[in-house]
Amino acid sequence: MTSRESAISREETDLRLRQVRQALGRHGFTALLAYADCWRSSNIGVFTDFRPVDGVGEYAQGLLLIPIDDDPTLYVAAGARGWARAVFPYAVGQLSDLVDDVPRWRLTGAIGLAGAELVPGTLLEPLRDRLRPHATLQPTSLLSMVKAVKTPRQLALLRHAAALNDHGLEAVRCSMATGRPHTERDVARIAEAAMMNAGGDGVAYASMVQAGPRSSWNLALPTDRTIAAGDMVLTDIGARYRGVAADGGRGFTLGPVTDRQRDIVDASAAAVDAGLAAIHPGLSAADLNSVIQQVLVDRGYADHSGEAKGHGTGHGTGIDPEEEQPWIEPGNPTVLAGDMVFTLKATITVPGQGGVRTERIVRVTESGAEAFDQFPLRNHW
């Protein structure tokens, strides 16, 4: 029901199911329950093009049951079954029947729950009660590890999505070069429109554009503040393209730039450069994090960077802008492997001076890393 380019083949669906079943065996689970909602749909999107539709109701949710030795069942809202049946090659059930269906599953022992942190308590509690005493639900990260390694189809889509990010930033650069005034909202709109006109399906998350003093906040949405000469500008804008998401960040200065501003932009870029150079299969996420974190500390930003403080310097990305693995942070023993895709990021926010975030999308290759996004990291306009 979607283009050849984005459709998940029966072979890809079955590959992912096989990978999950092997992991279920290793973990001693009898089945996996994968929960997703329309905004964090990767726990289902890794198996099928079906995605819950935005809303507050049950149609914003989906659950995929994968018994270790039986066919899967995709539970969706009643109104979404027509579409789900057209794209998912196995059984499709109705979410409102989920809890009543439990006895029919005839499952015992430990059932792994993927996306436990997303499941509303109002759904989790009755489900857990209905499974007792024969079976228990146990949060598991096994699906996160399966999702972390992308398929060739996913890699091709992610490369294109990253190119859309580059295109959006280039449109911003060209528009700023006219010299006419731009507000933060203008910048977001220019980037988003360019990404969409180039074939994107919109944004992967609410765009952040923060200018002047607002750039010294880690996170904020754009306003009508006009970007002024001397401002630092933090942008964090990502394209959605055919079922994948591209998370990316760049900062820039406008007009006259102080040495300190130039150093903030360069240190943020240098930290990410160092991380990119350090990547190779076998490196742990924690060790990769140390490389980026150390650059930020060495450059003197220990007090003005969440990444320097150990809050993490990257995260998995793919179907969702943020996926659980590999999360590049202290203490994460996850070992980088070929075709894992994740972001590398370094945010520096200095009150009074402003700040920037550099964030790139990278793939682990046989011997190193490939960066998907190509827009320059050091921008002074």
Does 149 help bind a copy of itself (rule: CB under 8 A)?
Answer: no
Does 224 help bind a copy of itself (rule: CB under 8 A)?
Answer: yes
Out of 15, 38, 335, 371, point to the residue binding a copy of itself (CB under 8 A).
38
Q: How far apart are the first and last CA of the chain?
A: 44
Judged on CB neighbours under 10 Å (0-12, 13-18, 19+), 353 is middle
Does 303 help bind a copy of itself (rule: CB under 8 A)?
Answer: no
Q: Where are the beta strands (DSSP E) in 148-306?
A: 208-211, 232-236, 240-241, 244-245, 249-253
Out of 91, 221, 228, 302, point to the residue binding a copy of itself (CB under 8 A).
221
Q: Please give the Cα distance from 196 to 226 (Å, whole number).
A: 24
Does 333 help bind a copy of itself (rule: CB under 8 A)?
Answer: no
Does 306 help bind a copy of itself (rule: CB under 8 A)?
Answer: yes
Q: Please give the Cα distance from 97 to 101 (Å, whole number).
A: 6
Q: Please give the Cα distance from 100 to 122 (Å, whole number).
A: 15
Does 126 help bind a copy of itself (rule: CB under 8 A)?
Answer: no
**Residue 341 gets which letter from DSSP?**
E
Does 169 help bind a copy of itself (rule: CB under 8 A)?
Answer: no
What track of x and - describes contact with a copy of itself for positions 170 through 209 (by CB under 8 A)? ---------------x--xx--xx--xx---xxx-xx-x-
- Piece in contact with a copy of itself (CB under 8 A), picked from 251-259, 294-302, 318-326, 332-340: 318-326
Contact between 348 and 301 under an 8 Å Cβ cutoff? The reply is: yes
Does 218 help bind a copy of itself (rule: CB under 8 A)?
Answer: yes
Does 330 help bind a copy of itself (rule: CB under 8 A)?
Answer: no
Does 56 help bind a copy of itself (rule: CB under 8 A)?
Answer: yes
Q: Please give the Cα distance from 375 to 24 (Å, whole number).
A: 41
Peptide bond into 256 cis (omega under 30): no
Shorter beta-carbon distance to a copy of itself: residue 110 or 124: 124
Q: Please give the Cα distance from 81 to 79 (Å, whole number).
A: 6
Q: Which residues would be at the binding site for a copy of itself (CB under 8 A)?
A: 1-3, 38-40, 51, 53-57, 59, 77-80, 82-83, 86, 116-122, 124-125, 185, 188-189, 192-193, 196-197, 201-203, 205-206, 208, 214, 216-221, 223-225, 306, 311, 320-324
